Each structure stands twice: as C-alpha cells, then as structure tokens.
Structure 1
Amino acid sequence: MDKLRVLVVDDHPLFRYGLSSVLAKDSEIEVVGEEATGGTAVSAAARLRPDVVVMDLHLPDINGVEATRRIVGEDPSVRVLMLTMFDDNDSVFAAMRAGARGYLLKGSGPEELVRAVQSVGRGEAIFGQDIAAKMITFFAAGPQRPATAFPELTTRELEILNLIARGESNSGIAAALVISPKTVRNHVSNIFSKLQVADRSQAIVRAREAGLGDQP
C-alpha cells in the first residue's frame, strides 16, 4: 500500500523537526516536506501534492486558516489537520470553515497524532478529546456569536470589517462607532495588513465570503 504523503508546517524549527520525526517513524507515513510559513506551505502543497498537511494555526505572513483555505481551494483532495496550542471556539470553527478536516492541540501524544494523521488521510474528520468536548459544549449552549474566519483580527477590527463589508465609508464607520476618522484609518490599515489584501474591494470580497456584511 502506498504511504500517506504528509507535509508538515510549523514556524518553530525544533517542534517541526520533532513532529516530522514522530510521523516518519510510522511505516504508513512519508514526510515529503517541511515549511515554516503559510505562503511557502501553499506553494509546497501545490508542488508536492501531499495527502495530508499538518498545519500550525499562527504562522508568519499568512496564518494557518488562510493557508488552509488556499490549499484546499486549489486542490480539494488535500486534507488539512490543524495542530495548534489554541483551542478557542473561533479558531476551531474558522479552521473548519476554511476546509480543515481535523483539529488537535500540540499537547497531544505521539500515538494520538499519528492516528489523527492516518484518519484524516482516510477522509475522516478528527478532533482531539479536548476539542470534541468544547464542540459538544458549544452546540449544547445554543445560538452564539458566529465563529469568524479571521481569528487574527481584534473584536474592534472585526466590527469595522463587518461595516466595510456593508459598504460603509470610513466617515460612516467613524460616526457609527463614535470614534475618530484617524482611528478608523488606522484600524483599516491593520485589517488590510492582517488579511493580506491590497485594497478595500479585496477586503469586502474576503469578508463577504466569510459571511460578514449582513444588515442588522
């Protein structure tokens, strides 16, 4: 049987090396590449065509959620397993909306990690025990604030992005939030930088794709 081809993405060299070593010990897995940034992960996935990408959430340049969205958008057959220290609801659901097939915490043991990679490689959805418990609690609690596809944004930045997606101008946003136009401009600049977009129109497209911009 062909080995499962795995691409490992993490910006911490020692952790990336340890993770690759753990996976490479399994007879059913072949680590075909390692990357340290979201941008290089997207390029490597297109070049190496792995079966599974083990992806960190917070990466230099573009984050793991955006990298996942681009990788899966380019090749839906690639399965992404998020491996991160962050287990907040927004991060989990943002990763799922981007196309990830699993979500594990970095504290997971080697055996659990190998099983998760194998399961995701078979097309299954996999969640660590802690994550699964949080998801059960989340849904049992009933309707809540929708998870955002932009966990890197602050609450205020997300609020402003939502208004941008509605077509509001900077002056309109300033009036709606009772803040100065200069403050709005600073927030907008930070939003564009974090989302890696060049202008307002690109930001609107990204925001509306994520479900933002609906009128209250």
Structure 2
Amino acid sequence: MSVPPKTIRVVIVDDHAIFRSGLKADLAPDIMVLAEAATVEEAITAVTAQQPDVVLLDVHLPGGRGQGGREVIAGCGSMLGTTKFLALSVSDSAEDVVSVIRAGARGYVTKSISGAEISDAVRRVAGGDAVFSPRLAGFVLDAFGTAEVAVEDELDKLSARELEVMRLIARGYSYKEVAKALFISIKTVETHVSAVLRKLQLSSRHELTRWAADRRLL
C-alpha cells in the first residue's frame, strides 16, 4: 500500500493576481496554499502568521524599501530554519539570482517552468534541497564556490558534538530540547554553545542563526 505524500503548506507572494491564481491552480494536490500576498509588507505579515513550509517568492515586489524578495526574507529572518524560500521570477539575471540566494532563498526558478516542475521544486526545497533552473545554477556556483571553502574552514573549528549542538540551536531549539535530543545535560549544552560562539566569533544565538542561515546550514 502506497503512502500518500505529505501535504506541503505554502504562501504565494507575487504582485500579479492573475499569476497567483494560475500558479495556485497548477500546483499538485499535495501542496496547500495557505495565503497569498502582493507586497513586501503583506508578504512578511502572511508568512509570519501562517509559518508555511515553503514561500513561493517573486523577486521584484512593490512596497517596503524597494528591495523586493530580499526584504521579505530579511523580515522573516527568524523563520529561516523552518520556512524555506523559493524564488520565482521572470528574471534570469545573475544579479537577481545571486542577491536573493545570499539573502537566504533555497532556490530560484523562472516562471517559464511547468506546474509539474514547480510542484517538484516545492517538494525538493521543503525537503532541504537547493533547486535552480538549469541555466541559473552556474551563477550560483560562480558566486558561492569560494564561499563554500571558507564555510568548510569555519566548520572545521568545531568538534562533531559542537556541530550537532550548533545546528539545533540555530534551528531554534531551546537548551532543554537540545539536551533531550542529544542525551546530554543542559549544562553541557551551555558549554558547547559558548565554545561554538567563541570559535565562530559570534556573540548571541540570534547571530548564530543568521550565520547558519546565510551559509545554508539549517
């Protein structure tokens, strides 16, 4: 007996109502649209309220400070550990792709793809994968190739246990929850967190979450 696919909850952010309607109709049955938004402010409000699994996010949006999708991601920064952002745009410029990925998006696809393809992209992003339209992947590799080496160097500073604690703390787990998950004491968790912050030259859990999100480690 086959297991039915898990329902993936999404918010659609695009300033064109016709496009939102068409996209909503094209998504597969296992993808549930919780809300729609047309501006930066509406998007931040909707995403914060609904806490979806994935946000389908247009790169260029009215409102806010004129930074579009990047501003939406920044406004929902505390949710990057649980909510994934998939950029969806008519633009295929390297500047747009790299800027929104740097902001924290997990993927970038163009609006020319089919409903089946966007549904598959949503599932993959929800599962933790990074997804790009084929010709856009090169932009990301060029922009982040050297950055990945730097990330590896930073992670090499942490022990295996410190790395486990870092990931959980960055995802929003409390010290008590981390202790329970790893079968260690809360005091040991505190010790590991202090070591992680010191080695990565960070000053708070908030900075740690941002650091991990910027490096797509969540």
TM-score range, shorter chain: 0.5 to 0.7
The RMSD of aligned alpha carbons is: 2.4
Conserved? CA contact 1:72–1:79, under 8 Å? no
Corresponding residue of 1:176: none
TM normalised by structure 1 equals 0.60
Once residues 111 and 32 of structure 2 are traced to their aligned partners in structure 1, the CA distance between those partners, rounded to angstroms, is 20
5+ long unaligned stretches in structure 2: 147-218
Out of 81, 100, 107, the residue aligned to residue 102 of structure 1 is: 107
- Once the two structures are TM-superposed, the CA of residue 75 in structure 1 deviates from its matched residue by 4.6
TM-score, scaled relative to structure 2: 0.59
CA positional deviation for 1:141: 11
Could you tell me which residue of structure 1 aligns to residue 19 of structure 2? 15
The equivalent of 2:150 in structure 1 is: none
Task: Find the aligned partners of 2:39 and 2:128 in 1 and give their Cα distance.
Answer: 25
Counterpart contact for 2:8–2:126, Cα < 8 Å: yes
Distance 1:133 1:74, change over 3 A: closer
Matched-pair contact (CA < 8 Å) for 1:55–1:81:
yes
Deviations along 1:158-202, whole A, 9 cap, x unmatched?
xxxxxxxxxxxxxxxxxxxxxxxxxxxxxxxxxxxxxxxxxxxxx
Closer, same or farther: CA 140–4 of 1 in aligned 2, 3 Å = closer
Query: Which runs of structure 1 show a deviation greater than 3 angstroms over 4 or more consecutive aligned residues?
Result: 72-75, 133-136, 138-142
How many residues of Structure 1 are paired with residues of Structure 2 in the alignment? 141
1:40-94 per-residue CA deviation (whole Å, 9 max, x = no partner) reads 1111111111000000011111311110122233453110000001122221111
Deviation at 1:135, TM superposition (A): 3.8
Q: Helix, strand or coil: the match of 2:129?
A: coil
Q: Give the partner amino acid of 1:61.
A: G
- The aligned counterpart of 2:211 is none
Unaligned runs of 5+ in 1: 143-216
Say yes or no: does 1:131 pair with 2:136.
Answer: yes
Equivalent position SS for 1:107: coil
> Aligned in 2, Cα 1:66/1:27: closer, same or farther, shift over 3 Å?
same
Quote the residue 1:119 is aligned against: 124
Whole-angstrom distance in 2 between the partners of 1:140 and 1:119: 20
Mapped contact 1:72–1:78 kept (Cα < 8 A):
no
